[in-house]
Structure 1
């Protein structure tokens, strides 16, 4: 089981699609060896050091949080059905209303596409808020996502970091 790492009024809550099997088994976000999330988060400026997955709660020290769009763990996100997302949407809305982050950063387009009902999603800042939070869509850092190099990921995540920190 993977527990949310969130508190009220964070700058950003990063929203993974769903837990990988290793993360669900370990109980720590992005614990798969090939996942680049923690490295990208550090290199893009969000954290002063690279957090180890077993210390994932330290992300709160940087005014960031973690959750997933769908709670069900799978080995690959493409194993999720539309029903998985549909069943998760209401719980996700309740969670975002409760915690009210300034930004919700979806990691990958699939969850935001499904939650928003939009057919086309661009990377970056979205034109509409989601329950009062600004929405940003970032590439997924999964090792299965080979469409983005480490450098590409850092550039995309740095864009959000710079907007949040008004650089």
Structure 2
């Protein structure tokens, strides 16, 4: 099970669709193949390098001890139930999560609510995504939709993360 760590006024709240079985078992979001964590490193959101992040115990330490307290970042998912793939989700399964997410974004007020992937945003909003990038706001939080980290060139995702950082005046951390 994943314990989502949320804090008031985080720089970025990352929002996924739902956990993969491997991530759920480890208790760490996006830890099944770790690509998103490597992108965080390349973009300068976190200081740990990819070799360090490959080790589950190291990644768990970063998530549980540093992600919120040091890096001022948050993670949550629209749907709590793990699945192998988003195609395994049932229609309407996101309804409960939409309310939770809306309440969490309003309550915790991250500078940016970043939806990880088109499907996540569309399931949350109930609307077809017009374009990746900035998509309005929820309360005081700007909304950004980034490309899903697995498919396509990593450089696009790194640039998206850097764009978010720049918009909130956050400088990359050297690693």
Which TM-score bucket, shorter chain as reference? 0.7 to 0.9
Deviation >6 Å, runs of 4+ = none
User: Where do 1:1-167 residues align within 5 Å?
Assistant: 1-32=1-32, 34-50=33-49, 51=53, 52-55=58-61, 56-57=63-64, 58-60=66-68, 61-126=70-135, 128-141=136-149, 145-146=150-151, 148-165=152-169
Structure 2, gaps ≥5 residues long = none
- Deviation, 1:149, is 1.8
C-alpha change, 1:72 and 1:131, in structure 2 (3 Å) is farther
TM-score, structure 2 normalization: 0.84
Give, in whole Å, the separation in 2 of the partners of 1:98 and 1:137.
20
Per mean C-alpha deviation after superposition, the further-off stretch among 91-100 and 3-12 is 91-100
Does the 8 Å CA contact 2:118/2:129 hold for their aligned counterparts?
Answer: no
Structure 1, gaps ≥5 residues long = none
Give, in whole Å, the separation in 2 of the partners of 1:129 and 1:66.
18
- Deviation, 1:91, is 1.6
Question: Secondary structure of the equivalent of 2:93?
Answer: helix
Question: Secondary structure of the equivalent of 1:94?
Answer: helix
- Deviation, 1:64, is 0.8
Does the 8 Å CA contact 2:3/2:27 hold for their aligned counterparts?
Answer: yes
Give, in whole Å, the separation in 1 of the partners of 2:170 and 2:34.
28
- Deviation, 1:166, is 6.4
Q: Between Structure 1 and Structure 2, how many residues are aligned?
A: 161
